[in-house]
Structure 1
Amino acid sequence: MPANSRACSDLVDADLIKITRLFATPIASVIHPEHELLNEQLRSIILERSEHDLGTLHSNDGGWQSQDDFATWAGEPGAKLVAFA
């Protein structure tokens, strides 16, 4: 290191660094009152769908992701979930 340069830690007091979250994304969550029943019903429906439909490829490396038409094939359990969301 040249004689006239100093390490960053010598120049900046870490306690004076201000962190501003410019692009914070809040995430809200709530549990459906019938979540256990819906999960059981949707699991069967989704697994059967995945056996006959290739789905779509995004970032689901090794997994299955449905097309964006979930509400059209998920039956009453899917309709309940969509209405709740």
Structure 2
Amino acid sequence: MKRRPSYPGELRAKHANMSTKIWVKVAMAIAYFFCVSVAAFILVIYYVFFWTPDQQYNSTAGAGATNRTGCAPTNQ
């Protein structure tokens, strides 16, 4: 009959810590993914249902809309 190897106390604790470290890493990755996904979902809900763009900077506001991306002319 083969016997299972008996580990000294330190080695047994090391093997137990390795398995818990793996589960902690997996749990942290899942928690990170969940938090990022929830934040993205909240932003999607906000932009789809509540956000309205400013009409002042909207290019379809009319012919009187000014282009605010250019530099001011210099007077020489």
TM-score by length of 1: 0.23
TM-score by length of 2: 0.26
> Which structure would you say has the larger Rg?
2
